[in-house]
């Protein structure tokens, strides 16, 4: 291709190559300052919230940790879903523990994929997913150059 049309297409292609990475955004994309950044989600209807800590190295995601906290400030862990230390409702406990396992799954997916858009929701743990995304985006805003 020659002439004006060829130069115009070449110019558009060059612009796309230069601008597209910045427009796509995402977890760990180039352009983040190295360091450790923490973001927090808003509270859900029970007063619980999520917190993501992202480590950026070489302008990319090096580590990601996600914890959700109960209204009283207790981290959701192996006791989440128990009442007075006992499993009083197995179905409720199983659902609560699914959310706990999803916390690590979301953090691992972010570490591996390096892009929030590639982190998929775990069925049955969508509140934790929403909290993860909100907190991760807040952490990455702090890391942006």
Among 128, 111, 110, residue whose Cα is nearest residue 119? 110
Q: Which long-range contacts (CB under 8 A, 24 or more apart) does 116-125 make?
A: 116/25, 116/26, 116/27, 116/140, 117/26, 118/26, 119/27, 122/98, 124/95, 124/98, 124/99, 125/98, 125/99, 125/101
Decide if pLDDT at 66 tops 70.
Answer: yes
CA distance 92 to 82: 8
pLDDT in tens, 82-140: 999 999 999 999 999 999 999 999 999 999 988 888 999 999 999 999 999 999 999 99
Residue 128 phi, psi (nearest 5): -65, -35
Q: CATH number of the domain that 48 lies in?
A: 3.90.1010.20
- 43 in helix, strand or coil? coil
Sheet containing 35-40: which strands, arranged edge to edge?
35-40, 49-57, 60-69
pLDDT in tens, 31-46: 799 999 999 999 999 9
Full domain range(s) for residue 64: 3-143
Tally of domains in the chain: 1
């Amino acid at each position: 291709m020659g002439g004006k049309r060829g130069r115009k297409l070449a110019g558009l292609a060059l612009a796309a190559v230069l601008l597209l990475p910045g427009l796509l955004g995402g977890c760990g994309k180039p352009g983040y300052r190295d360091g450790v950044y923490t973001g927090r989600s808003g509270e859900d209807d029970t007063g619980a919230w999520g917190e993501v800590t992202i480590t950026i190295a070489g302008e990319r995601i090096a580590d990601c940790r996600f914890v959700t906290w109960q209204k009283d400030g207790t981290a959701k862990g192996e006791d989440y879903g128990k009442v007075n230390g006992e499993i009083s409702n197995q179905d409720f406990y199983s659902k609560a523990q699914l959310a706990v396992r999803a916390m690590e799954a979301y953090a691992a997916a972010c570490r591996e994929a390096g892009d929030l858009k590639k982190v998929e929701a775990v069925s049955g743990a969508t509140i934790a997913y929403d909290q993860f995304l909100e907190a991760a985006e807040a952490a990455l805003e702090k890391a942006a150059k």
